[in-house]
Amino acid sequence: MSVEEKAIEEAANTARHYLDEVLLSPLSEYGLFLKEKVSYWRFKNQVTTAIKARAFLEKKGVSVESIRGKVSAEAIVPLLEASSETGDPSLSDMFASLIAGAMSPDSAVLIHPSYGKVLNQLSALDGFIIHELYKSLLLHQNNLEKGVKPDKYNENLSLHRQLGFDEVKLSEGLNRPVDQVHICFQNLIRLGICDEGHDFLNRANKVARISFTDYGFEFVKRCTENIK
């Protein structure tokens, strides 16, 4: 057994013990962390995400005692299973954030069952784009609270419906081919995370731009709320 394999096995044992305590039943009943049932790559991804989720909960001060027997297996098992399909650290962080949210008493009801399925259809670049857009919104929200309003700000419209990313400008900023960014935009629109924005002129002039939908805004909030 290599050093990495030994470390993953130790982490798996830690995660099993933790989740067995929380769920009050063995993970084997749900088919989780059974290395002989999945590829080593998927097993490692699942374990890594579970350990991250535990760290997020501990950072928030959520103890095993406070959630023991109160966590729905139906809420976290599908997320853990879906997390096995990505080895990208940033997407793994987002899965861990969702799992931590589903295990937290104050946010469990806010984690929609569709979130894991949607997250599993994002590329690393998709995830980066929506995370950066969300951070931009938080910055503008902070400025708004200080009395600094964005250009053409509409007080009757949610901020996340007004702000967005332009395809060409974003591709230039990321130094990525515009066609690559275009595919990401189309995927985010397909999944209902984003649309072309509220501004009719943007659509009429075929400006390639995205803004969060209401669903997408809540989705990204839950995927990133534990990530700093």
64 Cβ contact list (under 8 Å, min separation 6)? 18, 21, 22
Q: How confident is the model at residue 24 (pLDDT cuts 50, 70, 90)?
A: confident
In whole angstroms, give the CA distance from residue 44 to residue 9: 9
- The chain-wide mean pLDDT, for the chain, equals 89
**Integer CA distances (angstroms), 30 to 55, 77, 154, in order:** 22, 7, 48
Question: Does residue 36 register a pLDDT over 80?
Answer: no
Give the percent of the chain with pLDDT over 70.
91
Q: What is the pLDDT of residue 201?
A: 47
DSSP assignment letter at 199: -
pLDDT tens digits for range 136-185: 999 999 998 888 888 878 888 899 998 999 999 999 999 999 999 999 99
In whole angstroms, give the CA distance from residue 208 to residue 169: 10
Domains of the chain (ranges; CATH) run: 3-119 (no CATH), 124-224 (1.10.10)
Lowest mean pLDDT among 113-117, 147-151, 158-162, 215-219: 147-151
Q: What is the pLDDT of residue 192?
A: 96
Give the percent of the chain with pLDDT over 90.
62
